[in-house]
Structure 1
Amino acid sequence: MERTETNRSLHDALRVARSREAQERFLAGDDDEEQQADGADEAADEHVPLASNNFNNHADLPVYTTIHRIRRLVRASIDDPYTPEQLKEPRMNVLIVKPLVDRFFDPDDISVVYCLLVNRVQFLREQSYQAHHQTVNSSRAALCEILAIKILRRFDEENSGREGLLLLANILIAGFEPFQNAPEEVVRDSKHMMQWSIQKRSSSERTCCALEIGIISESKAFLAGTACQKVVDAVYRGRIVYTPTSFIDILPDHYKRKPICLYDPRKAPLLNQYRLIVPRIRSIIEVCQFFVLLVLYFLAMTHRNHLVLTGYEVAFIVYAAGWVLDEFASMLEHGWHVHTQNLWSFLDVAFVAIYLAYVIVRVHGFVTDDVRHGRTALDLLSIAAPVLLPRLAFNLMPENMLFVSLRAMMGDFTSLTALAVWCFAGFLLAMKWLTYPKVPAGEPAPEMPDAVTISKWMLWIWFGLDGTGIQRSPEFDLVLGPALMVAFAFLGNTLFLTILVSILSNTFAKIVADATAEIQFRRAVLTFEGVKSDAIFAYRPPFNILAMVVLLPLKFVLSPRWFHKINVVCVRTLNAPLLLIISLYERSHLWRTTKRKLHASGPGARRSWLSSWNWSQFSVHGDVQAVFEVDPPQAIIDEIEEVDIVDEEDNILSNGFMQPPRTFTGDRSLSPRADGRSLNPRRRRMSSATRVFPSRPSIW
């Protein structure tokens, strides 16, 4: 056994070393790939590292110290309330933002962005509990977001190519914990709080990444940044793979954990079960699953029979149970807060509630042999139609502004309606108490409206549909009844609805004003939530129910290695055709899409008839588009560079300040260059304009 373990360890070490060497060769030659011949390009496209990671060891980073260092400096820098627009002004950028960026930026510390977003969460929390501090903490939170944007942008600018992409991925996706490298007395004193992140500090499951912190803090400007969206797009397409941390796993299988790495489909197995949790592939699978659920729902309702279970209804119950299990696992994967940021999460929760109520009533009807319960169960199931049909539209058009705005306004509408029902319940209670008999003893009491009828009258008055409640209010009391109804009409129909419309209009205006950031924020949420670590997601409904029933007990009997082997065999067997299609597609499209764009205009480049056809010739202004489709020759580029060269004396200093304009004597057109050569005529005109109108530092 010792010899076997030694051989296995040596084999794993050699495999990791070979992968690391391949990664280094690929990253080192990435910049030169585009300058090779066409045949070399075809071969170079295939060499993308599979399972190596140059930035995997982050345990030595002083996260705890950095968090409190950022907090001290930000609090010392901002003492007055500022809006995000004011913090982006040139004066604030020079005095506060840029010095803090220079102080916090460290090429060897990739946890700075995470620490800034953690401080943003804390400042927002303090603002919600300390409203008397005006908006100072909101300004500090906005400053943390701006600093995170600028530092991430600097990482992106100083690290290009796929090596830079891998670095950005580690900054945003690598897991950190707030108490990392904290003093032992701090950890010991904080254990009584029973925080989830402190209970097992040595486990990789107790970490959180910067992308997740940005989602829960709703840092939309940060998530909409170019550098962040570059990583989000790479993760969404599966070019960057990793094993995420999860809150709770229904079917955990963590025998092998993938570090953050670039994915090479040609070095991966032909049936790679990990591709089933790639966000883009998983989103397509989820749409297909929901479409199957919708078809089974229509068949079950079309052939419904409250006396017996039809075959369509049985199929719907079983498949919907697997779909609900998948939805429940998604809620547990990253927590309720992240799950509710999804665009259609409120529709999923509504369907789960309707389905559970339907199943309970249906089962109760069969147990008690009561026909009425079967009819009631089908009636409950019928109200799922207003939930399922819009949900399909949300899936097919997730970036439509109507749906994005509707999702945001639904939260405001629900909270305001609940608050109004709470406040106006007093009117209902008062009018109900006014309906007690007021006739002498022995005389028949008139029939008084019950609470349901009064509630119906109030609802009609609320929406301005009918005034029956006001007409019959004297039945409660000649004076107090009409007074209560009229007061409710003023407060509910006039005041509350006006406030509700104003708030919803304000919410819609804010979303439309920053539509790009809102859409990219939802895209980041969908991507982050799409990467799953729970093995239950590799099984399609209703096979996930079977997997939970069969494999979950084996988890407590088998060793992690054997459980992993059995799980892989089951997943590959059930998804073999799908995995084969994914593998064949990605081997020719995953990394070569960008290369085709780069080399489409090169000599000898192979292009399909569809891509090689000049579609711009059908447009009246096709020449405007065609002029950009072919790269200019090198002679034109050299001429442009010669014309646009500007002397170093005319440039802005690195600290953001302008140099004083130089004074010239004699003919300006004969001003000598630093290297002794005279300027050409076009160069002279540009130089004169530059000296007359010196450049100013930009906001960023």
Structure 2
Amino acid sequence: MDPEDSSPLLAPSPELLSAVKVFPLIISIKNEVMTRLDSALSWEQLTASDINFAVVRPIVFKYAKLKNMSSVYACLVVRSYFLNAAEEELAYAGLMLSRASLCEILAMKLLGTFATNHIHLVAVLTTVWNPLAGASHQIIDDVCQLLGSQDDDINSPQSALEMAIATEAKQLISSPVTQKVVNDIYSGRIIFSIASNRSMLADNYKPRAIEVYDVRNAPFLDHYRLRVPRYGAILEFLNFVMLLVTFVLCLSTPNMETVAFWEMMFLIFAAAFALEEYTATMEHGWIIYIANMWNAFDAAFLGVFFIYLGFRIRGLVSGDAYYSETAFDVLACAACILFPRLAFFTVSNNVVILSLRVMIKQFVFFIGIAAICFSGLLFTLWTLGKERWTVKSIAWLMVQIWFGNTYLSFGQAASFHPLFGPILMTCFAALSNTLLLTILISILSNTVARIDANATQEYLFQFAITTIEGFKSDALFSYQPPFNILAFLLLKPASYIISPRALHSLNVFLIRLTSFPTLVVIALYERYFTVGQRIRKTGKDAAQSLFQSLPRHIKNMPFVEAIVGSTSNDLYEAIFDVEHDHADADIFQDADSIDERPQLRSYNSAREDPPPSPRVFPGSPRSRSRVRALSINTSHRMSGDMTDAQALLTAVEPAPNVRSPLGRLWARLPSANDAKADATLRKVETILDELKGAPVNQLREEMKELQERQARIENLLLMLTRGMRNETMDSTI
């Protein structure tokens, strides 16, 4: 079964990915960021709650509705634009850096919208996008004219992870969502293929969709497992060890007249190493390659190797032993790079190593600036004392003074000039030993403190770079040195002659042939490691059962608890492991009755469903408000059934004085107002008791009679007023 024929698991189709419009999204995000943010803000201010709700969330909701899988990539492209603008427009550098940080925040937020589907999340970060996808032909022609290139030259797509590395979006890379994808790619749980556009030997015959790797459906000799970064790191370490061994043996047995066996082996492994590094730069570009500091060591070794190779060829052709000796002397200097590089393979992402890497970078930069500044002093001293001093001797003297040998500055100062010599050398000694070295130490100390504060973020950033470099689509990366040279010599000419299908078949055959032992080891490891893990798990369960069978006083011994662990942690884990779908149902069963407020009810309803006694303490504002409500309701309902009043009194009867310790602590002490409220409450109870015995029908008849009398009085008054108005009218006439 060919692994390319396996069906993906809910992966986006290539047709869907090719139809995504990227260019309009890039322009829209750029305009949105420039409109929303018009002031320089720090990262802490941009992530504050007010800016998040006012600026970030509206933009995220706007572009999340599009469900465009290239939105994260577009945000990072816009971030690169603002970073370049910050370097060019120094007056607005702060604003441009703030907008670049906002783009990184938007990328993080938009990436979280795809986190529900892990396969789509991987596609968002690993799919290579063309920034001109969705642009009109006029725009593409304008871009070509600005760059002075053809259409094929601008076809260099990148993924969102590569853009994050290129723009140093460390917050995005160190986020848990991104690291989940990076870890899956590094361990080989997620497999995919990237079409090679800049590779030296591209094999794009069968592109693989993104899918979860299942060892049960994979072939035994799966050559794609050689591209897994986890296995690639181990194989790279072994290849580097072979290079170092041949390097040591080559220098141990030098032959000036001819090429010895170990020198030939070293040349083969060094050439294979150079081909691999050059292929890496072609695959991901120089920016991604040089972002890893250890690649700078590799590039430095290759520089030394090519210098050695030039002197060695010159010595063998001319027969001059001087050039051959010089070649071996130059090659010996490469030991200063190879031996530390081997140690950095094992602890490459340690905090000390990360700090050392940045310190070396800043130290080289600082020394370069100091050398340029003191070159004027070198020319001045050579001009003053060129009769006795050469440029080389003056430079060596200045280096000794720079590193602390100040005695030479005073001893040799007069040899340059009797007046200006001591003045110049004293100034140089003061600047180099007092000022500049102090500044250098301060810079390196701040660097260590900054790296130590962001050690986790820096480690995850370097880990992402290693993962992206390890997952390469160039066919040459599937061959281990020195077989990559053989593959290049065979497959590169064949790619111009045979069909892509035949090239793919030949490539798979050569990979399985040259890497047969490695593929067998990987297959056995992936298929039978799970069995070993199951055995270890079973043994752990047996040991746990044995521990649980021990007596209680033995399990609680400090020594045993220190070895096995506290049993309380097991209890906490067991609580959440049991079935608890309806465990919280009893908590809210009586919630309605507990929170029920007093209501007007009849006596019968009160007996059928008695309300709970509310916890209202006498004298509290709540009790006084209820007293007023009772007096008003009673005055309006005197004609009703008097049992309602009794039910009311039962409903508002104060609860027993049952309080918690905090309630007793914060309870208000009785005051004069409380006593007055109690007296008023008792008076209302007395009035209601008196009204209880009054005949209700008699009260109704008396009220009706009063209403009729009031109506007759109103009629008499109306008649009198009419008579008075008529008399007034007659007198007027």
TM-score (normalizing by structure 2): 0.74
Q: After TM superposition, which residue ranges in structure 1, 4 or more long, deviate above 6 angstroms?
A: 643-648
1:606–1:502 Cα change, 3 Å: closer
- Structure 2 equivalent of residue 183 of structure 1: 136
Q: Which runs of 5+ in 2 are unaligned?
A: 548-558, 592-612, 617-658, 664-733
Alpha-carbon distance, 1:290 to partner: 0.7
Structure 2 CA distance, aligned partners of 1:465 and 1:612? 69
Alpha-carbon distance, 1:365 to partner: 1.2
Structure 2 CA distance, aligned partners of 1:542 and 1:88? 50
Structure 2 CA distance, aligned partners of 1:430 and 1:210? 53
Segment drifting more, 334-343 vs 625-634: 625-634
- Structure 2 equivalent of residue 520 of structure 1: 460
1:340–1:92 Cα change, 3 Å: same
Structure 1 CA distance, aligned partners of 2:360 and 2:583? 54
Alpha-carbon distance, 1:65 to partner: 1.5
Question: CA-to-partner distance for each residue in 1:439-475, whole Å, 9 max, x for gaps?
Answer: xxxxxxxxx0211110011111112134313321222
Question: 42, 52, 61: which is aligned to 1:102?
Answer: 61
The code of the aligned residue for 2:275 comes to L
Structure 2 CA distance, aligned partners of 1:510 and 1:280? 29
Question: 567, 571, 575: which is aligned to 2:515?
Answer: 575
Specify the SS of the correspondent of 1:61: coil
Alpha-carbon distance, 1:334 to partner: 0.4
Structure 1 CA distance, aligned partners of 2:581 and 2:520? 48
1:121–1:633 Cα change, 3 Å: closer
Question: 549, 561, 575: which is aligned to 1:632?
Answer: 575
Matched, 1:500 2:443: no
Structure 1 CA distance, aligned partners of 2:296 and 2:568? 43
Structure 2 CA distance, aligned partners of 1:512 and 1:211? 25
* 2:406/2:429 contact within 8 Å kept: no
Q: Which runs of 5+ in 1 are unaligned?
A: 1-10, 25-51, 438-447, 649-664, 669-683, 689-700
Specify the SS of the correspondent of 1:458: helix
Structure 2 CA distance, aligned partners of 1:91 and 1:80? 15
- Structure 1 equivalent of residue 73 of structure 2: 114
The code of the aligned residue for 2:254 comes to R
Structure 2 CA distance, aligned partners of 1:635 and 1:289? 51
Segment drifting more, 380-389 vs 466-475: 466-475
Specify the SS of the correspondent of 2:428: helix
* 1:221/1:517 contact within 8 Å kept: yes
* 2:12/2:123 contact within 8 Å kept: no
* 1:293/1:320 contact within 8 Å kept: yes
1:606–1:53 Cα change, 3 Å: farther
- Structure 2 equivalent of residue 342 of structure 1: 292
Structure 2 CA distance, aligned partners of 1:520 and 1:284? 19
* 2:87/2:93 contact within 8 Å kept: no
- Structure 1 equivalent of residue 127 of structure 2: 174
1:278–1:646 Cα change, 3 Å: farther
Alpha-carbon distance, 1:337 to partner: 0.7
Segment drifting more, 67-76 vs 467-476: 467-476
Structure 2 CA distance, aligned partners of 1:400 and 1:321? 30
Question: CA-to-partner distance for each residue in 1:99-148, whole Å, 9 max, x for gaps?
Answer: 22222223621111111111111111111111111411111111111121
Structure 1 CA distance, aligned partners of 2:291 and 2:588? 49
Alignment of 1:264-303 (within 5 A): 264-303=214-253
Structure 2 CA distance, aligned partners of 1:520 and 1:642? 44
Alpha-carbon distance, 1:208 to partner: 1.0
Alignment of 1:181-330 (within 5 A): 181-194=134-147, 199=152, 206-246=156-196, 248-330=198-280
Matched, 1:125 2:84: yes
Alpha-carbon distance, 1:642 to partner: 5.5
* 1:343/1:398 contact within 8 Å kept: no
Structure 1 CA distance, aligned partners of 2:81 and 2:235? 37
1:155–1:587 Cα change, 3 Å: same
Question: CA-to-partner distance for each residue in 1:270-293, whole Å, 9 max, x for gaps?
Answer: 212121111111111001111111
Specify the SS of the correspondent of 2:497: coil
Structure 2 CA distance, aligned partners of 1:524 and 1:571? 27
Give the helix-richer structure, 1 or 2.
2
* 2:196/2:203 contact within 8 Å kept: no
TM-score (normalizing by structure 1): 0.77
* 2:64/2:110 contact within 8 Å kept: yes
Structure 1 CA distance, aligned partners of 2:311 and 2:167? 40
User: Kindly, what percent of the aligned residue pairs are identical?
Assistant: 33
- Structure 2 equivalent of residue 532 of structure 1: 472
Aligned residues: 585
* 2:268/2:482 contact within 8 Å kept: yes
Question: CA-to-partner distance for each residue in 1:176-216, whole Å, 9 max, x for gaps?
Answer: 12211012221121111337895367x6xx31111000000
Matched, 1:465 2:405: yes
With CA pairs under 8 Å and 6+ residues apart, which has the higher RCO, 1 or 2?
Answer: 1
Specify the SS of the correspondent of 2:481: coil
- Structure 2 equivalent of residue 440 of structure 1: none
Question: 397, 400, 416: which is aligned to 2:350?
Answer: 400
* 2:309/2:327 contact within 8 Å kept: yes
Alignment of 1:649-664 (within 5 A): none
